[in-house]
């Protein structure tokens, strides 16, 4: 069972943004910017392109709804979308509020936020969802 499956099951706490029957969205605890959110399918699949076409399409549509909520809650020019897929063996999409393209660089320093800061950010995005 992956760490993401354990988060979805409630075994590990998360700053949940949104959830439906197929997907779960929560704040990344090592964010590239405030509001950096992960969207994961509840079906545990390692590689995003191993998801069947319908589930992958539905995942992008769910991610779009989350991205719109992030845009409404976090000041940014755009919400960038990134799929890397090597750090956790569970398909996931990164949604990252950005001001410029370089904000998406994996080489950038990650933010260190308090639990209170994470909760405030999560609540703002949930309220906009």
The residues annotated with a catalytic role in the active site are: 92
Query: What is the helix (H) or strand (E) element at residue 71, kind and residue range?
Result: helix 53-73
Task: Tell me how far apart the alpha carbons of residues 45 and 23 are, in angstroms, rounded to a whole number.
Answer: 12
Task: Tell me how far apart the alpha carbons of residues 37 and 23 are, in angstroms, rounded to a whole number.
Answer: 13
> Angle between the 53-73 and 115-128 helix axes, to the nearest 10 degrees?
110
């Amino acid at each position: 069972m992956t760490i993401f499956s354990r988060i979805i099951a409630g075994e590990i706490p998360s700053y949940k943004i949104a959830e439906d029957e197929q997907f779960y969205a929560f704040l990344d605890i090592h964010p590239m910017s405030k509001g950096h959110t992960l969207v994961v399918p509840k079906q545990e699949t390692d590689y995003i392109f191993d998801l069947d076409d319908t589930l992958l399409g539905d995942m992008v549509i769910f991610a779009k709804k989350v991205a719109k909520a992030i845009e409404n809650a976090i000041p940014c020019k755009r919400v960038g979308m990134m799929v890397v897929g090597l750090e956790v063996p569970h398909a996931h999409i990164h949604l990252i509020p950005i001001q410029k393209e370089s904000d998406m660089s994996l080489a950038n320093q990650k933010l260190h936020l308090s639990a209170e800061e994470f909760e405030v950010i999560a609540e703002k995005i949930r309220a906009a969802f």
